[in-house]
Amino acid sequence: MKSLLIIIIGLLLGGETFAQAKKDPQNIEMQATRDPEYPKGEQTLYQEVRMNLKYPEEAIKKYVEGSVTLSFDVKADSTIANCIIISGVGYGVDEAVKKYVEKLKFSPGKMNGMKVKMNVNMSFPVKAH
């Protein structure tokens, strides 16, 4: 009798394990969200902006240093839109950083495997020397 009970319990537990292994069509598989990113990496982006930026003459004379914070959308096609200066250093440097960044291409963000528009906030270090 005891062995029959053990066999029945084993079959029941085995059946539950098998049922859990099947795919449930009501469960939706979610993929992780991926934020937009610069293809060459964040450090390379900062270096490119700092080295290639055309600093205004007044900023160079005053040795302006600091950071410019921008908010912008990376669209599904990798382009930048709605770029806004959040904070900056003045002397035309903020506008120069904005103009430079607006021309860049980023890898778009993804949600559930699909490319989507996402907002990004970034601070760019600047040294006008």
Are 74 and 120 contacting, i.e. CB atoms less than 8 angstroms apart?
A: yes
Confidence band (pLDDT; 50, 70, 90) for 113?
A: confident
Confidence band (pLDDT; 50, 70, 90) for 100?
A: very high
Q: What is the pLDDT of residue 34?
A: 87
Let me know if 62 is exposed, middle or buried by CB neighbors in 10 A (0-12, 13-18, 19+).
Answer: middle
Give first-to-last CA distance, the chain, whole Å: 90
Average of per-residue pLDDT values in the chain: 84
User: pLDDT tens, 52-72?
Assistant: 999 999 999 999 999 999 999
The residue to which tokens 């950083």 are assigned: 97
| Residue 73 pLDDT > 90 | yes
Confidence band (pLDDT; 50, 70, 90) for 29?
A: low
Sign of CA dihedral 83, 86, 90, 93: negative
Which pTM does this prediction carry? 0.71
CA atoms within 13 A on the CB side of 111: 5
| Residue 21 pLDDT > 90 | no
Q: What is the pLDDT of residue 32?
A: 64
Q: Which among 84, 129, 74, 82 has a CA at the least distance from the CA of 106?
A: 74
